[in-house]
Amino acid sequence: MLSQFFRSSRQKIYSYISNNYKFILIIFALFLIFQIVEFGQGERISKRLQDCSYVSVLTPIRMPDTHSVFFNYEYQGKKNKGYTIVGAEDVGYLYTKTEILHSRFFVRISCFNPKMFSVVWDIKVPDSLTFVPKNGWDKIPYGLDKTVDISK
């Protein structure tokens, strides 16, 4: 009885695919195009930030779920708000919302567009660092960028 159910289900799936293969190919092509565009956009942002960027401190303000982070950062005397996605590849597999919300991170901000930024998840801002210059730093301050353990 159960094997008959699986056999009929398999036949239905094969029938659906053979009747709708164009639709499935279109969906696959759109997904592939989206991935290519997304990768290209990330590369452009990285290039622009390498050309000219400043470093400031990011303070998470809320996480409606385990992947979305809303935060504040100051740049040129103005408080800016931002949003980004965080994942295990950024902060490790055992991260929690509480851990992220109670930490501060460095953020690289474009010289030309303060809404273009990249969060440096690898380096947490120490509690002893309380002053952020109005225009940020040219690089991560006090040699903290050399303290990253690349084995993680």
Instruction: Look at residue 134 and tell me if it is in a domain.
Output: yes
65, 12: one domain: no
Residue 64's domain comprises 52-147
Rounded Cα distance between 133 and 136, Å, is 5
* Inside any domain, residue 152: no
Residues 91 and 128 in one domain: yes
Domain count for the chain, please give it. 2
Q: Is the domain of 60 the same as that of 40?
A: no
Please report the pLDDT score of residue 7 as a whole number.
62
Alpha carbon distance 3, 20 (integer Å): 26
pLDDT in tens, 23-79: 778 888 888 887 777 776 667 777 777 888 889 999 999 998 878 899 999 888 888
**Which of the pair, 36 or 3, is modelled with greater confidence?**
36
Confidence band, pLDDT 50/70/90 cuts, at residue 139: confident
Instruction: Report the predicted TM-score, pTM, of the whole model to 2 decimal places.
Output: 0.66
pLDDT in tens, 54-64: 899 999 999 98
Give pLDDT, residue 3: 59
Residues 83 and 136 reside in one and the same domain: yes
Question: Which CATH number belongs to the domain containing residue 77 in this structure?
Answer: 2.40.50
Whether 129 is covered by a domain: the verdict is: yes
